[in-house]
Chains A and B, each alone.
Chain A
Amino acid sequence: MPESGHEIVPAEIQKLALYDHPDIQRSFVIDAGEHRKEAVLILEGITCAACVWLNERHLKQLSGIQSVEVNYANHRARVAWDERQIELSRILQEIQFLGYNAHPYSAWQADQIRKTQRKRDLQRIAIAGIAAAQVMMLAVALYAGAWYGIDINTRRLLRWFSLLLTMPVVSFAAWPFYRSAWSAIKSSRLNMDVPVSIAILSAFAGSLWVTLTGGAQVYYDTVSMFTLFLLVTRLLESGAREKSIESAENLLKLQPAMTTRIRDGQQEYIAVLDLQQGDCILAKAGEIVAADGLIVEGMSTVDESLLTGESHAVPKQTGDTVIAGSLNQEGPLTIQVTDIGENTVLAGIVRLVDKAQAEKPRIAQLADRVSVWFTLGLLIFALLTGVIWLYIDAARAFEIVLSVLVVTCPCALSLAVPAALAAAGSNLIKRGILVTRGHALETLSHVTYLVFDKTGTLTIGKPRIEAMEMLSNVSADQCAAIAASLEQASEHPLAYAFMRHVEKERLFPVTQAGNMPGHGVTGDIAGTTYTLGNRNFANLGTEADERRIQARYPAATLVWLSDSKQALAVFVLNDPLRDDAKIAIAAIQSRGISVGILSGDSDAAVAYAAAELGVAEFSSQQKPQDKLAFLQALQVQGEVVAMVGDGINDAPVLAGAQVSFAMGTGTDVASQTSDIVLLSSKLSDVDAALSAGKNTLQVMRQNLWWAAIYNLVALPFAALGYIPPWLAALGMSLSSLIVVLNALRLR
């Protein structure tokens, strides 16, 4: 491979080189023998099978790479290399060269555990499947024998073989049911595995007794079929759920290994592990704080929900402490490091993942509670049936209790909601829509009002400076340099436009930097306080100027640069609308959902965009609290409001809306406060998610109705003795299978 083909900026290479640092590698690289290293990499930008193949083939051709395995389903690559011949940074660089992005996956152990678990589940299904097929064949002979007459020795032989085949099913394949039932009973709760375990164990014990002592009926076929179908439905459901968990982990980028350190007024990008106590680091607005420390400069609010679980912003100023892993929401903070250790950061992030996994939607919680009572009722009912039948016909009592237990197993009821959510979630992920909170899909189908942010959401979010208008005798170059310096610490999409305009060397050091979301930024350069933002922020520009310039550039956003006395310049920024914005909004409106635009932008720019998109309702120059107030007013009127946004200024609104979308290209805060992340940042995905929400709710309702009706109809027949156990097992399995297959339609 010639080096000439690599068009990567030197800074990027420097950044990757940090991954060769042995301390950083310690957390995600495994020594797999002498000079052999292994790591799991998460690949970004994979859209099709060919992308996976391209990465795999290209890496395999590099010298020093010993094996590459890319999993098509979760986009993770397991790479083994010889450390004498190739370095990890080179591998990452090669992937970048192909146009993709890779970052190391640090929760190696979790991945390993999940893999072993899946293998074990498959083994259980294989054993149950093979045994069930054989036992059912023998059962046909036994049933035929019971009907036409059978030699007693032949019958005994067939029963013994059935027993032999069922043994591994009861002792190995059905193990998860016993374990789950036992842990439920120990904590004095009930779950659906309790009646399942009772049915399996009692049917097996009863059959064993009959086989040993002789009697009319054995139920080995029921036992193995029941176990097999239950295992299969659970695998289908958990497979879909795991897929969403894996995608969520990929998004979280578990390795926040880099941070910005300030030394002698210069910013440098370094590894968190190279930080030392007493170093100063910069946390920009929207970034995660890399280490525990003391604020030495700046004022902001910090979201520590990652660590405390309390999701509200805590105001912080000079002298306060911040915790690694918390989110800086508003202004840039300079932090003096007091405690290092990736452990703090990782602990917080691991907790976030756990929380996301543990979170259950309301309708699922309801189904869980219902199935607990259902289970209790069922056990009591089965007991009563048994007692009554002991008086009527003691010989049939056991068989009938077994039928009741099996036929009414609340599996279908418990699977109805999670199966639908998991299937819908994995379908949406395939399209690049990540559902991060369980309730989101349910709420989506009730949405009546959809609010869009403009910059970065309806528009591409990469505005360009179209023109500059000088209002004083300060030169254009000087103004551009001042503006770019002020925007250094901001993550607002408009900031990049300024940064692109000016070379990095020409930036001035800024003190007292502040960021007022929705207004602009401010800071001191060489003793003068400058402000950059909309006209009302500094309020030094004249309205006549604004009208004059706006008339010339109707779609543009005007940004005013002022010192403490006068307006210096106006920057004319233009941000084109996304290609699919118009189609997406038309599609949403045709669903009968009202659409509105809320933006911090100027009147003219928002009005222009609204007219272009056919949106009647819009508000401009909205601060975050205005947006939230607007939203709450709508909610008071009884509207179910969804919000689509991307920036820091949208974070409170995203949290306040009943259901919220964040653009994948947006800031960390936005995607963490939202319910759904649009990874590919396509607006048409909003419409896709809305229709998925409708379908999901419909499927959940169908499933719940089906499960309820089936149980109500089957129960009296079983109790009256019309359903033999094998038919009960078949009915139960079919009803669960129908629920799962109905849910899989959503994929």
Chain B
Amino acid sequence: MTISTLLFLLGMTMVFIAFIVIGILWAIRSGQFEDMEGPAQRILMDDDDPLLPSNRIEEENKK
């Protein structure tokens, strides 16, 4: 009993590990670890910030 259960569980582990490995290698290859600071900062910035020149012009047009 034990041996076949163990074999099954270890086999499952191997399948999961294969998925994890494929996933992480894809993430690395697609450049997700290139810039570790950027994404954290980007999410905090607003697209309608008046610092952007185009937004400033729209503001002026509204007036």
A residues engaging B (CB < 8 A)?
1-2, 5, 49-50, 52-54, 57-58, 61, 70-73, 97-98, 115, 118-119, 122-123, 126-127, 130, 134, 151, 153-154, 157, 161, 164-165
The reply to whether A127 and B3 form a contact with Cβ atoms under 8 Å apart is: no
The reply to whether A72 and B35 form a contact with Cβ atoms under 8 Å apart is: yes
Closest to A156 in B: B3
- The minimal Cβ–Cβ distance linking A125 to chain B, given in whole angstroms, is 9
| Interface pairs A-B: 4 shortest CB-CB | A49-B41, A72-B37, A72-B38, A53-B45
Could you name 12 residue pairs across A and B whose Cβ atoms are closer than 8 Å? Answer: A53-B41, A53-B42, A61-B52, A71-B35, A73-B35, A73-B36, A119-B29, A123-B29, A154-B2, A154-B3, A154-B6, A157-B7
The reply to whether B53 and A98 form a contact with Cβ atoms under 8 Å apart is: yes
A interface secondary structure, majority: helix
CA gap between A49 and B51 in the complex, in Å: 13
Residues in chain A near residue B21, CB distance under 8 A: 126-127, 130
CA gap between A71 and B54 in the complex, in Å: 23
The reply to whether B17 and A134 form a contact with Cβ atoms under 8 Å apart is: yes
The reply to whether A72 and B41 form a contact with Cβ atoms under 8 Å apart is: yes
CA gap between A321 and B44 in the complex, in Å: 56
Query: Which bracket fits the contact residues of B?
Result: 20 to 34
Which listed residue (B3, B51, B53) contacts A50, Cβ 8 A? B51
CA gap between A13 and B15 in the complex, in Å: 60
Residues in chain B near residue A118, CB distance under 8 A: 34
Closest to B13 in A: A134
Residues in chain A near residue B52, CB distance under 8 A: 54, 57-58, 61
The reply to whether A161 and B10 form a contact with Cβ atoms under 8 Å apart is: yes
The reply to whether A97 and B53 form a contact with Cβ atoms under 8 Å apart is: yes
CA gap between A122 and B25 in the complex, in Å: 9
Closest to A115 in B: B34
- The minimal Cβ–Cβ distance linking A643 to chain B, given in whole angstroms, is 35
The reply to whether B20 and A130 form a contact with Cβ atoms under 8 Å apart is: yes
Residues in chain A near residue B57, CB distance under 8 A: 1-2, 5
A122/B33 contact (C-beta < 8 A), A53-B45, A97-B53 known: yes
- The minimal Cβ–Cβ distance linking A118 to chain B, given in whole angstroms, is 8
Residues in chain A near residue B25, CB distance under 8 A: 123, 126
A151/B42 contact (C-beta < 8 A), A72-B37, A119-B28, A122-B33 known: no
B interface secondary structure, majority: helix
- The minimal Cβ–Cβ distance linking B22 to chain A, given in whole angstroms, is 11
The reply to whether B51 and A54 form a contact with Cβ atoms under 8 Å apart is: yes
CA gap between A71 and B3 in the complex, in Å: 52
Residues in chain B near residue A71, CB distance under 8 A: 34-35, 38
The reply to whether A151 and B51 form a contact with Cβ atoms under 8 Å apart is: no
The reply to whether B6 and A1 form a contact with Cβ atoms under 8 Å apart is: no
Which listed residue (B13, B14, B29, B37) contacts A73, Cβ 8 A? B37
Known: A61-B54, A119-B31, A157-B3. 15 other contacts (CB 8 A): A1-B57, A49-B45, A57-B45, A57-B47, A58-B52, A58-B54, A61-B52, A98-B53, A122-B28, A127-B21, A151-B3, A153-B3, A154-B2, A157-B6, A165-B17
B residues engaging A (CB < 8 A)?
2-3, 6-7, 10, 13-14, 17, 20-21, 24-25, 28-29, 31, 33-38, 41-42, 44-45, 47, 51-54, 57
CA gap between A54 and B42 in the complex, in Å: 10
Residues in chain B near residue A52, CB distance under 8 A: 38, 41
Residues in chain B near residue A122, CB distance under 8 A: 28, 33
Residues in chain B near residue A70, CB distance under 8 A: 38
- The minimal Cβ–Cβ distance linking B14 to chain A, given in whole angstroms, is 8
CA gap between A122 and B24 in the complex, in Å: 10
CA gap between A52 and B51 in the complex, in Å: 12
Closest to A168 in B: B21
CA gap between A103 and B56 in the complex, in Å: 26
The reply to whether B42 and A157 form a contact with Cβ atoms under 8 Å apart is: no
Residues in chain A near residue B20, CB distance under 8 A: 130
Residues in chain A near residue B44, CB distance under 8 A: 49
Residues in chain A near residue B54, CB distance under 8 A: 1, 58, 61
Residues in chain A near residue B17, CB distance under 8 A: 130, 134, 165
CA gap between A130 and B27 in the complex, in Å: 15
CA gap between A52 and B29 in the complex, in Å: 24
Residues in chain B near residue A54, CB distance under 8 A: 51-52
A151/B2 contact (C-beta < 8 A), A72-B37, A122-B28, A130-B17 known: yes
The reply to whether A5 and B41 form a contact with Cβ atoms under 8 Å apart is: no
Residues in chain A near residue B3, CB distance under 8 A: 151, 153-154, 157
- The minimal Cβ–Cβ distance linking B11 to chain A, given in whole angstroms, is 9
- The minimal Cβ–Cβ distance linking B9 to chain A, given in whole angstroms, is 10
- The minimal Cβ–Cβ distance linking B3 to chain A, given in whole angstroms, is 6
CA gap between A58 and B51 in the complex, in Å: 10
CA gap between A45 and B34 in the complex, in Å: 22
CA gap between A6 and B2 in the complex, in Å: 77
Residues in chain A near residue B53, CB distance under 8 A: 1, 5, 58, 97-98
The reply to whether A123 and B28 form a contact with Cβ atoms under 8 Å apart is: yes
Residues in chain B near residue A134, CB distance under 8 A: 13, 17
CA gap between A700 and B27 in the complex, in Å: 36
- The minimal Cβ–Cβ distance linking A159 to chain B, given in whole angstroms, is 12
The reply to whether A157 and B10 form a contact with Cβ atoms under 8 Å apart is: yes
Residues in chain B near residue A57, CB distance under 8 A: 45, 47, 52
The reply to whether B28 and A126 form a contact with Cβ atoms under 8 Å apart is: yes
CA gap between A68 and B34 in the complex, in Å: 15
CA gap between A5 and B13 in the complex, in Å: 62
- The minimal Cβ–Cβ distance linking A248 to chain B, given in whole angstroms, is 19
Residues in chain A near residue B33, CB distance under 8 A: 119, 122
The reply to whether A49 and B34 form a contact with Cβ atoms under 8 Å apart is: no
Closest to A141 in B: B6
Closest to A54 in B: B51
Residues in chain A near residue B31, CB distance under 8 A: 119
- The minimal Cβ–Cβ distance linking B19 to chain A, given in whole angstroms, is 11
Residues in chain A near residue B10, CB distance under 8 A: 157, 161
CA gap between A23 and B36 in the complex, in Å: 36
CA gap between A153 and B47 in the complex, in Å: 63
Closest to B28 in A: A122
Residues in chain A near residue B28, CB distance under 8 A: 119, 122-123, 126
CA gap between A97 and B35 in the complex, in Å: 26
CA gap between A690 and B38 in the complex, in Å: 31
Residues in chain B near residue A115, CB distance under 8 A: 34
- The minimal Cβ–Cβ distance linking A639 to chain B, given in whole angstroms, is 42
Residues in chain A near residue B45, CB distance under 8 A: 49-50, 53, 57
CA gap between A126 and B21 in the complex, in Å: 8
Residues in chain A near residue B34, CB distance under 8 A: 71, 115, 118
Closest to B24 in A: A126
Closest to A119 in B: B28
Residues in chain A near residue B2, CB distance under 8 A: 151, 154
- The minimal Cβ–Cβ distance linking A65 to chain B, given in whole angstroms, is 13
- The minimal Cβ–Cβ distance linking A671 to chain B, given in whole angstroms, is 27
- The minimal Cβ–Cβ distance linking A166 to chain B, given in whole angstroms, is 13
- The minimal Cβ–Cβ distance linking A67 to chain B, given in whole angstroms, is 13
- The minimal Cβ–Cβ distance linking A43 to chain B, given in whole angstroms, is 13
Residues in chain B near residue A153, CB distance under 8 A: 3
- The minimal Cβ–Cβ distance linking A138 to chain B, given in whole angstroms, is 8
CA gap between A134 and B47 in the complex, in Å: 45
